Amino acid sequence: GNFDMVGNNFPVFFIRDGMKFPDMVHALKPNPKSHIQENWRILDFFSHHPESLHMFTFLFDDLGVPQDYRHMEGSGVNTYTLINKAGKVHYVKFHWKPTCGVKCLLEDEAVKVVGSNHSHATQDLYDSIAAGNYPEWKLFIQTIDPDHEGKFDFDPLDVT
């Protein structure tokens, strides 16, 4: 079957209940009548989902806007189950780290860059590959024995 992995550039996500994902997407979309994004709709949705606060601490930190795709980390949002040859189960999370390091834009830089080229990250990736400067990420896995899941003061399987 298909092996799809939901990913993000942060190791956490806004909501823990996947059934609420369509509602979140609608809150983030522009108003269907005016086609203008309304901040009150975004704030209204997330005010009812306090688990989103952890994600907002990443979003509004200096890591919030990656400089480009080559300097962006990747994280599998969900926890996966891997089974080794001996039949032993492990819970894992996947993390990709760019070999060229992480670089981010501060707010004023982001406004300038996106204002001049809204596809700047794609352009940078295309230009880098065309110049023979191929991007590279190292894959890391974070593991936990399912028997240890209940030994934490938080839920290690919670995406938020």
Give the tens place of pLDDT for each residue, 25-75: 999 999 999 999 999 999 999 999 999 999 888 888 888 899 999 999 999
Q: What are phi and psi of 96, to 5 degrees?
A: -110, 130
**pTM for this prediction:** 0.83
CA dist., res. 160 & res. 157, Å (int): 9
Q: What are phi and psi of 10, to 5 degrees?
A: -125, 155
97: tokens are 């780290």
Element holding 95 (H helix, E strand): strand 89-98
Give the tens place of pLDDT for each residue, 77-136: 889 999 999 999 999 999 999 999 999 999 899 999 988 999 999 999 999 999 999 999
Domains of the chain are 1-61 (1.20.1370.60), 62-149 (no CATH)
